[in-house]
Structure 1
Amino acid sequence: MTTDQWGVRVPTGKGEEVRQALLREGALDLTLKVLHDGDALVFPVLSERGDTSRYSFAEQPDCTVLPRHELVGGIAIMQEDDPVGAAAILASRPSLHTVLFPTSEVSGEFRTREYVVLAGTDTTRTEVVEHGHRFAVDLAGAYFSARLSTERQRLAEKTREHELVLDMFAGVGPFAITLAPRAALVVAADLNPRAVLLLIENMKKNRATNVLPLLADARRLDAILPWKFDRIVMNLPLAGTEFLPEAFRLVRPGGTIHFYSLVSKEGEHLGRIRELGGVEVTERVVRSYSPGQWHAVYDIVAE
Structure 2
Amino acid sequence: MDDEERVRRWCRRVEKRRAEAERQALIAGGLLDRGVRPCADGDDLLLPLVERVEGAEEAMFKPFPHHEDLPRHELVGGIAIMQEEDRAGAARVLASRPSLHTVLFPTSAVEGEFRTREFLVLAGEETTQTVVTEHGHHFVVDLARAYFSARLSTERQRVCDEMTEGERVVDMFAGVGPFALTLADRASLVVAADLNPAAVSLLCENIRKNQKTNVIPVLADAIHLPGVFGRTFDRVIMNLPMESVQFLGAAFALCRPGGTIHFYALVDEEGKYLDAIRAFPVAEVRERRVRSYSPAEWHAVYEIEVGG
When the two structures are superposed, what TM-score results if normalisation uses the length of structure 2? 0.95
Of 253, 257, 262, the match for 2:261: 257
CA contact (8 A) 2:197 2:219 kept: yes
Of 87, 100, 120, the match for 1:116: 120
Instruction: Measure how far apart 1:45 and its partner are.
Output: 1.5
Separation of aligned partners in 2, 1:86 and 1:267 = 40
Aligned partner of 1:96 in structure 2 is 100
1:83 and 2:96 equivalent? Answer: no
Map residues 274-285 of structure 1 onto 2, 5 A cutoff.
274-285=278-289
1:290 and 2:294 equivalent? Answer: yes
Tell me the alpha carbon deviations over residues 242-274 of structure 1, each in whole angstroms, 9 at most, x when there is no partner.
111110111100000011111101111112112
Aligned partner of 1:198 in structure 2 is 202
Separation of aligned partners in 2, 1:226 and 1:291 = 40
One-letter amino acid of the counterpart of residue 236, structure 1: L
CA contact (8 A) 1:24 1:70 kept: no
Separation of aligned partners in 1, 2:193 and 2:133 = 22
Of 21, 27, 33, the match for 1:23: 27
1:10 and 2:10 equivalent? Answer: no
One-letter amino acid of the counterpart of residue 295, structure 2: P
Aligned partner of 2:273 in structure 1 is 269
Q: CA 1:65–1:278 in 2, change beyond 3 Å: closer, same or farther? A: farther
Aligned partner of 2:38 in structure 1 is 34
One-letter amino acid of the counterpart of residue 133, structure 2: V
CA contact (8 A) 1:142 1:172 kept: yes
Q: CA 1:279–1:227 in 2, change beyond 3 Å: closer, same or farther? A: closer
Count of matched residue positions in the alignment of Structure 1 and Structure 2: 303
Q: Gaps spanning 5+ residues in structure 1: where?
A: none
CA contact (8 A) 2:231 2:253 kept: no
Aligned partner of 1:59 in structure 2 is 63
Tell me the alpha carbon deviations over residues 25-61 of structure 1, each in whole angstroms, 9 at most, x when there is no partner.
3222222221211111112222222121221112222
Instruction: Measure how far apart 1:227 and its partner are.
Output: 4.8
Aligned partner of 1:238 in structure 2 is 242
Q: Gaps spanning 5+ residues in structure 2: where?
A: none
Separation of aligned partners in 2, 1:243 and 1:131 = 29
Instruction: Measure how far apart 1:292 and its partner are.
Output: 1.0
Instruction: Measure how far apart 1:24 and its partner are.
Output: 2.3
One-letter amino acid of the counterpart of residue 103, structure 1: T
Aligned partner of 2:188 in structure 1 is 184
User: Identity rate of aligned residues, in percent?
Assistant: 59
Aligned partner of 1:219 in structure 2 is 223
Separation of aligned partners in 1, 2:252 and 2:156 = 21
**Farther off after superposition, 273-282 or 22-31:** 22-31
Aligned partner of 1:160 in structure 2 is 164
**Farther off after superposition, 277-286 or 164-173:** 277-286
Instruction: Measure how far apart 1:226 and its partner are.
Output: 4.1
**Farther off after superposition, 29-38 or 185-194:** 29-38
Please tell me the root mean square deviation across aligned C-alpha atoms, in Å: 1.2
Instruction: Measure how far apart 1:195 and its partner are.
Output: 0.4
CA contact (8 A) 1:191 1:218 kept: yes
CA contact (8 A) 1:281 1:300 kept: yes
One-letter amino acid of the counterpart of residue 98, structure 1: T
Of 127, 135, 150, the match for 1:131: 135
CA contact (8 A) 1:30 1:65 kept: no
Instruction: Measure how far apart 1:157 and its partner are.
Output: 1.4
Separation of aligned partners in 2, 1:195 and 1:241 = 22
Secondary structure, in 3 states, of the residue corresponding to 1:156?
Answer: helix
